[in-house]
Structure 1
Amino acid sequence: MASKPTFSVPSGGSAQVSIIETGMRMDDIDLGFLLAPAVDSFEKISIPGWSILIQNSKGQKVLFDLCFSPERDTYPPGAWGLINAAGAAIKGTKHVADVLKENNVDPAEISSVIWSHHHWDHIGDPTTFPKTTEVVVGPGFKKAYLPGYPTQKDAYIEERHFEGRTLREVDFSASSLKIGRFTALDFFGDGSFYLLDAPGHDWGHLNGLVRTTSNPDTFIFLGGDTVHHGGELRPTPYLPIPDEVNFPLPDHVRARGVSACPKGSQFRELNVKRGRKPDHPFFDPVLVVDMADAVESIDKAQEADAQSNIFFVFAHDVSIQGVVDFFPLPANEWKEKGWKEKHMWNFLGDMTLATTS
């Protein structure tokens, strides 16, 4: 095992964070649309979508990503182009704002909605929030994606999302702050929540880092779409697959008569058979606008993932289901509850059949 990389974060306050489950799912996505190289018996992928509620010590509330809008008849043509290319079947009936109201949080309390990037399954519908809620986007967003639909007929986003509302584009160019190797901005100014410059998947793509406890410091890393599957993130030389792995076997795997998790050595051998190194991730990203930037952002994120005090959650991380507490419960006690260890290798379930073929 390689020595653990450093991932330095300045001292600061903590924030309350919750993972919001909206019920959104995208089923039957062609794996090759998101990940490569192929692996036997893993042709389709189904993924959820998470929105993250963050509240600082002064009570200011923001959301990182809005997941999707259940009102699919309002999607502009550009969004449908991406959905159809993925071969996805979309399920879900609730806006994030609906979930907030059901749990006695007024959408008017949300001061900012932060989009990790401009894809339809992250932007939701900002019009479900009052005009006082700003939309925060990454660098280059306005140049790349404005005007929206209907002025630009093939746009992914809609101009109505910004009418009468502040659209704030963050600028990392003057920032000297580094979180690990990420260029960063202190969003609240108290060290409790940082925005990280993580391009590659999309222009202006953002990650986040929330301090969940202080002294000792623990964090939740918000990965957005830097990765779409745990096999893009792990294993690494810092986090090799252990000899004994335990994870819930997917139903379709049990249906094939598999009743026990394969050994870690079988997954390492699978990686080698596919032309990978045994301690390198199973997959490379596919859905990117810049491959070099995408790979670099993943490399930086892997350094965060290797830290015992950082819990990595990406926007479509199905492996946390059955492990984490969802909103309205907070996620701050993730380390005490052992979530990182419980979910770390759950993604291997998708590749179990390939180890037995």
Structure 2
Amino acid sequence: MSADTLSLPPPSDEQAYMDVSALEAGHLSVPLDLILAGDQPDEPMNCPSLAFFLRHSKSNKRVVFDLGIHRDIKEFAPAATERFLPVVKQTVAESLEAGGVPPSSVDIVVLSHLHWDHVGDPSPFTTAVFVLGEGSKQVLIDPSSCLNPVAFTSIRLPEDRLRFITDFDLNVAIGPYPRAMDIFGDGSMYIIDASGHVDGHINILARTSPDGAWILLGADSAHHPDLITGKMQIAYRVDVKTCAVMCVHEDKEAAEENIRRMRLLLEVPRVQVLTAHDIYWYEENKNKEVFLPHILLPLV
């Protein structure tokens, strides 16, 4: 599929959509040679770990996508603090409260995956259903079974409010994505299968207006915006002593295909593409009215 033939579903009459707001959710320092191929500066990239609040225009259903970094992350993922130096000035729950949304009023928490900088603190979300890709189920059972177990926290999710998105659920094709789920059944918000970074990694593709604007929330599908544009490539190397593969993505080929699909979306009119660690977007928008209680304005 080329950008010339790519399209997203047109709006229906009285089309429902999602208001989308950014949430402060902590920062971390990422060595550039960990995520970008080629020679990189020694200075690490200090980047956000963004989360998002989405509100359904008709039902007022409240959705949070990712929970950022736990304030006491050293307790839950001690290995992460040694290399990535996380700083949390405002948690997702605090960002919601500051924007007038009690965490207890959130209906759905969608977690892209269960790495420590995305799972945050689930405890304030006392009534929300937690939605994850099916590939995350094994991680909850046994983090040591994963390629990079230190990336996960010891935080547990409420078992009685967990929902895993199965292959059966991913029964819709939309734009460049062959596997998606229309979560509200009205074309307002889709859960996207975006495996590659880890098994079961999911994204959100949401309408942001009733007349044709969209946003893709890409989480860790790409750790730097230059990967999406094609200016840079994913870091990948093999340790000559141990023969261990060094890559932030569990499946590099699947991750590259996912990035290719995001690149196609960049060329579609009125579609924003925004990932969790987008340092360019954050530097441009950190002092603007895009964080709750404000919204990201739809592209025109």
Residue 44 of structure 1 deviates from its aligned partner by: 2.0
Q: Is the 8 A contact 1:125 1:161 kept in 2?
A: no
Q: Match for residue 329 of structure 1? A: 294
Contact 1:232/1:283 (8 A) holds in 2: yes
Q: 1:82: Cα distance to partner? A: 4.5
Are 1:145 and 2:140 matched, yes or no?
A: yes
| In the alignment, structure 1 residue 200 sits paired with structure 2 residue 196 | yes
The match for 1:135 is 130
Distance 1:159 1:119 in 2: 10
Over 3 Å counting, the alpha-carbon distance change for 1:186 and 1:142 in structure 2 is same
The SS at the match of 2:265 is helix
What is the CA distance between 1:3 and its match in structure 2? 6.0
Larger Rg: 1
Shift, 1:42, TM fit? 6.1
**8 A Cα contact 1:172 1:197, kept in partner:** no
Residues 24 and 50 of structure 2 are in contact (CA less than 8 Å); yes or no, is this contact kept in structure 1? yes
Structure 1 residues without counterparts, runs of 5 or longer: 235-279, 337-357
User: Take 1:318 and 1:42, find their aligned partners in 2: how far apart are those partners?
Assistant: 17
- Within 5 Å, which residues of 2 pair with 1:219-258? 219-234=214-229
Consecutive unaligned residues of structure 2, counting only runs of 5 or more, are 236-246
1:15-54 equivalences under 5 Å are 15-22=18-25, 24-27=26-29, 29-39=30-40, 41=41, 43-54=43-54
Task: Give the 5 Å matches for 1:156-175.
Answer: 156-158=152-154, 160-162=156-158, 165-173=160-168, 175=170
Q: Could you tell me whether the CA contact under 8 Å between 2:223 and 2:278 is conserved in 1?
A: yes
Instruction: Map 1:89-100; keep pairs closer than 5 Å.
Output: 89-100=85-96
TM-score, scaled to structure 1: 0.71
Q: Contact (CA 8 Å) 1:10, 1:191: kept in 2 or not?
A: no
Give, in whole Å, the separation in 2 of the partners of 1:295 and 1:154: 23
**Which residue identity does 1:48 align to in structure 2?**
P
Q: Is the 8 A contact 2:104 2:124 kept in 1?
A: no
Secondary structure, counterpart of 1:108 in structure 2: helix
1:69-88 equivalences under 5 Å are 69-75=70-76, 79-84=77-82, 87-88=83-84
* Alpha-carbon distance in 2 for matches of 1:187, 1:102: 27
Q: Who is 2:260 aligned against? A: 299
1:197–1:207 contact (8 Å) kept in structure 2: yes
Deviation, 1:33, is: 1.5
**Counterpart in the other structure of 1:308:** 269
Distance 2:65 2:194 in 1: 14
Question: 1:207 & 1:171 partners in 2: Cα distance?
Answer: 14
Query: Which amino acid letter does the alignment assign opposite residue 80 of structure 1?
Result: P
Please identify runs of 4+ aligned residues in structure 1 that moved more than 6 A.
none
In structure 1, distance between residues paired with 2:114 and 2:256:
19
Aligned to 1:187: 183
Q: 2:16 aligns with which of 6, 10, 13?
A: 13
1:178 is aligned to 2:173: yes
By how many angstroms is 1:318 displaced? Answer: 1.6
2:281 maps to 1:281 = no
Correspondent of 1:209 among 205, 208, 212: 205
Percent sequence identity over aligned pairs: 27
TM-aligned CA distance change 1:67 to 1:180, over 3 Å: same
Determine the C-alpha separation between the residues in 2 that align with 1:220 and 1:100: 20
Cα 1:103/1:82, change in 2 over 3 Å: closer
Residue type matched to 1:64 in 2? F
Choose from 310, 314, 318 the match for 2:279. Answer: 318
AA matched with 1:283: Q
TM-score (norm 2): 0.84
